[in-house]
Structure 1
Amino acid sequence: MPGHGPTVTVQGEATVEAEPELAVFAVTLTATGRDRADVLRDVADLHKRTWSALVGLGDGVDVETGGVGVHPRYEDRPGRRPPWFDATAQLSVEVGEFALLPDVLTVLGDVRELSFSGPSWRLRPAGPVQRRARAAAVHDALRRAEEYAAALGCTLTELVDLSDATDGRTWAAEESFPAALSAQAAAHGPLAELDLRPIRQRVSGSVRARFRMTVPDLDALLLELTEAP
């Protein structure tokens, strides 16, 4: 049976830091030409070769295909010359084994018709770090409620309800936004000089909790306040 008596509502908060679990690259392959079909074939071939090279690095590299697009690009005077066509294909590369990062960069740097951004350091979704943060927030809520109850000379008797805060970014790790880098530019600056040290991730969130507590003796509390120096 539900209890009776006063309740105390609190918000528990927590921030947990941890080493990242994934390094993510956003890759764009490009092809340009005057024949639309040829451009599509070129970008498809680039996609196949790059995808195969990345997948060949092993299970520590996960590659997903994104969108493919082709767009006409006209000269300054339309009609004087046939239009150019620009085709693009997207890849998302997730590296879970950081020892493979130099190999991934070597593959990306060997393709001149490629630009990429990364690595963006991330945690796996719904992983142990998020669970630790949730548990820490619950403990913080309980501590706060106990402190409020103790200030009234009461003790907590039961949990009424517990929920995530309504912020949509609750339990989301902070993400960095790396600059884009083209393979052609990288050829003039060694990729080995890039700083590949993982950036620690922070997971923050909050919970709302409502507890029932014993009835305070307000007369005794007021008397104590009036007698205080």
Structure 2
Amino acid sequence: MTTTQPYGTPDAPRLAVHGEAHLEADPEIARITITVTARGTDRRTALDDLTRRNTHVTDLIKTYGDAVDKLETSAFSLSPQLTKHGRGERVKTYHGTAHITADLTDFTALGELTTRLADLELTRVDGPWWSLRPDSPAHTEVRRRAVHEAVARARAYADALGATLTALVELSDPGAENTTPLYGRPAPGGMAYRAVAGAAPEPVPALDLEPQRQTVHARINARFIMTPPAL
């Protein structure tokens, strides 16, 4: 029984190539971050105010139902703000913040929600950051194109030598042992909005946010065995 060796020999030369593909796709997720702030002269007052504001923000986001794919609190802090008093220091105020992250799949609702959040007192909104889902068909398609490009390149090399491909012995992602993702990084770019305490502002029209097209990239390594070249 004859087996194909994973390395090249004069009778079965090995051909190594890479395949690469790029694809543009409409984003599927828009992420925004909301920072809720509260201040108080004592810890309890600051905490109660922060809890109230945080609950109001999360309740508002939840009213958008299925348009919200994910809602989570990413960080919380409550810290004293010190001031000089004689030879020592004393607590002047307490400062609290809560950071909320929301992923939306309905971009029509995104503009309205962003405007309503930015209209709240002591609330900051950052984003949106556009991205694809990890299981987006765009990832599968760009990898498929990269494989086809590698096969076409290998065939062109073999044809230039008067040879043909006989076997595929390896197909891999570059740096497959690394933990850094190769695909679907969220595209940067966004805006920040902040509202401060004061008189209640007049309602403003919903922001018209244009989704940012996502560029997906795939690169693979491929090794083939070919027939002896006609040198």
Q: TM-score, normalised by structure 2?
A: 0.85
Q: Alpha-carbon deviation of 1:202?
A: 0.3
Code of the residue aligned with 1:86 in structure 2: it is: H
Q: How do residues 23-62 of structure 1 correspond to structure 2 at under 5 angstroms?
A: 23-61=30-68, 62=70
Code of the residue aligned with 1:148 in structure 2: it is: Y
Deviations 1:121-156 (A, max 9, x none): 111112111111111111111111111111111111
Code of the residue aligned with 1:205 in structure 2: it is: A
Mapped partners of 1:208, 1:190: distance in 2: 55
Task: Give 5+ residue unaligned stretches, structure 2.
Answer: 6-11
Query: Which residue in the other structure is 2:72 paired with?
Result: 64
Deviations 1:17-39 (A, max 9, x none): 00111111011111111211221
Q: Alpha-carbon deviation of 1:172?
A: 2.7
Give the 3 Å change call, closer, same or farther, for CA 116–164 of structure 1 in structure 2. same
Code of the residue aligned with 1:39 in structure 2: it is: A
The more displaced of 29-38 and 191-200 is 191-200
CA RMSD of aligned residues (A): 2.4
**2:195 counterpart of 1:183:** yes
Code of the residue aligned with 1:57 in structure 2: it is: Y
Give the 3 Å change call, closer, same or farther, for CA 93–182 of structure 1 in structure 2. same
Percent identity of equivalent pairs = 36
Give the 3 Å change call, closer, same or farther, for CA 191–208 of structure 1 in structure 2. farther
Mapped partners of 1:141, 1:174: distance in 2: 26
Q: How do residues 1-229 of structure 1 correspond to structure 2 at under 5 angstroms?
A: 2-4=3-5, 5-61=12-68, 62-77=70-85, 79=88, 82-166=91-175, 168-173=180-185, 175-184=187-196, 192=205, 194-218=207-231
Mapped partners of 1:153, 1:112: distance in 2: 73
Q: Alpha-carbon deviation of 1:175?
A: 1.0
What secondary structure is seen at the aligned counterpart in 1 of 2:223? strand
Task: Decide whether the 8 Å contact of 2:129 with 2:186 is kept in 1.
Answer: no
Task: Give 5+ residue unaligned stretches, structure 1.
Answer: 219-229
The more displaced of 125-134 and 1-10 is 1-10
Q: Compare the two structures and name the one with the higher helix fraction.
A: 1
Query: Which residue in the other structure is 2:8 paired with?
Result: none
Task: Decide whether the 8 Å contact of 1:174 with 1:202 is kept in 2.
Answer: no
Deviations 1:49-81 (A, max 9, x none): 110111111111132121111122112547465
Mapped partners of 1:143, 1:149: distance in 2: 10
Give the 3 Å change call, closer, same or farther, for CA 145–80 of structure 1 in structure 2. closer
Give the 3 Å change call, closer, same or farther, for CA 170–84 of structure 1 in structure 2. same
What secondary structure is seen at the aligned counterpart in 2 of 1:172? coil
